[in-house]
Amino acid sequence: MDDLIVVIGLGNPGRKYAETRHNVGFWVVELLASKHKIKISKLKFKALYGEGVICGKRVLLVMPQTYMNLSGESVRDIISWYKISVKNIIIIYDDIDLPTGRIRVRPKGSAGTHNGMRSVIYQIMSDEFPRVRVGIDKPPEGWDLADYVLSKFSKEDKEKIAKAVVNAADAVETIIDLGVDQAMNKFNNLGT
């Protein structure tokens, strides 16, 4: 099953969180689903997911439904069920260490300040997988981090994020089609 690529967007389930900064990963997966006519309607592995084809490769699009800080449980269940290498997963998530709208592709690395990524790395015992980070900027002075990531974007940030979601989806397609290095070259300097 090593030809399968699993694309996982991190976020929080439920309408309450749908438009928050922390759900940018879900938005990218939803865009990929609509572009490639993949229905994300199956519920298993503590996730909503759908199967389809992107750039000629078999792909699983996944939105964990565990809440962010337990995302790794869903990722672990998928990896063990499909018996795939961690290198065959691509994780998309919001990043406060990048300016709003900037995206960054990496072949591997630490979780940084992101609890969802901490959970993933802890559960699968590896950080050797590609990821696409979408910048949401640091919280303003005096804001609690949790309150910030669970808040909605301002009007001007919404436009930047809409572009970043498109770029992030393109970056995922590039990773699937041509590999992480090509995606890094093309997307790591885009955005604000």
pLDDT in tens, 136-162: 999 989 999 889 989 999 998 999 999
User: Sheet holding 47-54: strands in order across?
Assistant: 42-44, 47-54, 57-64, 5-9, 89-95, 131-135, 103-106
Segments making up each domain of the chain, as ranges: 5-187
pLDDT at 190: 65
Q: Would you place residue 1 in the very low, low, confident or very high pLDDT band (cuts 50, 70, 90)?
A: very low
The pTM of the full predicted model, rounded to 2 decimals, is: 0.94
Is pLDDT at 166 greater than 80 in this prediction? yes
The residues near 53 (Cβ < 8 Å, ≥ 6 apart) are 36, 59
Please give the structure tokens belonging to residue 27. 């938005």
Strands 103-106 and 5-9: unpaired
Q: Check whether 114 has a pLDDT greater than 60.
A: yes
Mean pLDDT of the chain: 93
Are 111 and 121 spatial neighbours (Cβ–Cβ below 8 Å)? yes
DSSP per-residue letters across 98-143? S-TT-EEEESS---TT-HHHHHHHHHHT---S-EEEEE--PPPTT-
Catalytic residues: 22
The domain made up of 5-187 has a fold known as Rossmann fold (3.40.50)
